[in-house]
Amino acid sequence: MIPQTIFTTSPVSEKDLGKTLTAKNSFVFSYELIIKNAKLPGHSAYIGCFQMTREWRDDFVTHVPHTIAANVQKCLEECWARRQRFALLKEGQTCCCAVTLRALSVKENSDCTSPCLGDKKQACGAPAHFSIYYTGYIEEPQFTKFSLVFGKKHFVGCYYTSDENTLCPFAFTTQRLRAAMCMGVCEENAYLYAAITRVTRCCCTSTLDQPANQVDKNMCQALCSESDPADMETCGSGSPYHFSVYRTGLFQTVPDYKRPEYDHVWMHPNVNERDIHLL
């Protein structure tokens, strides 16, 4: 069940705001409504300008260094990567991320007038005011068919190739990549092998002899993102030429297989730049 976000504000019309009134001076802004009102599913959406009504605990938000997130796009991308639903920008250079919102009162967009440090045309809140965006975060599908132990049993080895295009007739990139995910997608697309490189890129293939050559497994020592170091789940290396290869559950290719259509919005942060609040 998706939790709801409670704001504190002045009395508002349910009809005007499309929100469910819960008590005097308060309303609930559900995640479902935010997602529904987003211009495109899985894409970012501007929510509005809000003023803090009290200080937040440090464990309530995740702060992103302003040297990394100096504009709206970067703040959204960083918060999405941290699996947070909201990106909050304040005083031109503060970017923080949150799963829920609280202790905020609704203000006019004209009250958020601090230009972003990295883009003076964009509004990044104001003192004690936040420009708040929905990041478009959608949880990835749960690829549970291949457990970690099963993936280890299906590890083929480390392979080298300088011709990724020939090796990979089907590939995708996501910061959330795990070996089980790559194996699951490759099997669903009727490939025999799942090859992972640079931690984030999954390559599906049914042949390894050409143009790839097997090399020492120590050449593939990059751990998959979000994996426990103790699991030693490898996802290639920093080099684009080394692939950790896993066997899928298929043992022969499927001719004329109709591959499933994927909704890829969960794979990457999708910033709706037309919805960015400008000064």
Confidence band for 92, pLDDT divided at 50, 70 and 90? very high
pTM over 0.85: no
pLDDT band at residue 148 using 50, 70 and 90 as cut-offs = low
Which pLDDT value is given to residue 19? 38
pLDDT at 262: 60
pLDDT tier, 2 (very low <50, low <70, confident <90, very high otherwise): very low
Residue 14 has pLDDT above 50, yes or no: no
Report the distance separating Cα 77 and Cα 87, nearest Å. 9
What stretch of H or E contains 33?
A: helix 31-37
Task: State pLDDT tens for residues 163-216.
Answer: 888 889 999 998 888 888 898 889 888 899 999 999 999 999 999 877 789 999
- Residue pair 213/160 in contact (Cβ under 8 Å)? The answer is yes
Of residues 149, 136, 125, the one with CA closest to residue 77: 136
Contact 204, 191 (CB under 8 A): yes
> Which secondary-structure segment (H or E) carries 191?
none
